[in-house]
Amino acid sequence: MASPREIETREKLTRCWLAAEPSVRAFVAAAVRSVSDRDDVLQQVALTVARRFEEYDERRPFVAWALWLAKSRIIDFYRAQERQRLFLTDGMLDRVAETLVQKHSQVSPRREALEQCLDALPKRSRSLLTLRYHDGLSMERIAATIHSTSGSVRVALFRIREALAACVERRLAEEAGG
């Protein structure tokens, strides 16, 4: 059974990782071409963050520390790939990481509203969005996956995007109004 301190540490790690993961994902995507390789590298970064979390200095931004670890995993990935060359230099990776740290600290109200609206979507709608925009599947592949037609998928995604846009605008207007 985990001690209260262990549970607190796990919860803190989870909160930090969930906040930093989009920036780490973008960093990895900037450095690794293949989608499947990106997922593998991101998983290695997550494992490294979890294993080394005790080393994290809370006086510094977590996202900067996670990006530093990500840079190491990216370099390891390319070393293992010997036949491929790293298409971003070490300095370029540093600049990308610095930009992401700055952007991470500036969560826009629009993005926050979008995340809340996404959370409020029905599970089926979120699944369709994941298949299309996260997994990058074509309309035809999505249709085959959910046993539907590509036309139905197009219409459903159009309606979901329209609902999200309206939800985001409504939330931003509510925030601006008080």
Position of tokens 């930090």? 16
pLDDT, position 88: 56
pLDDT at 124: 92
Q: Domain-by-domain residue ranges, the chain?
A: 4-104, 109-177
Tokens read off for 158 = 């159009």
pLDDT mean by block of 10 residues, the chain; 178 residues: 84 89 88 87 95 92 91 87 58 71 65 85 90 86 93 93 91 81
Structure token digits, residue 178: 């008080």
Cβ distance 46 to 17 under 8 Å? yes
Considering the domain 4-104, what is its CATH architecture? Orthogonal Bundle (1.10)
CATH number of 109-177: 1.10.10.10
The tokens describing 137, both together, are: 């599947």
Domains 4-104 and 109-177 share a fold: no
In this prediction, residue 147 carries a pLDDT of 94
d(CA 27, CA 42): 9
Contact 23, 103 (CB under 8 A): yes
Q: Vertex 44, ends 42 and 46: CA angle to 5°? A: 70
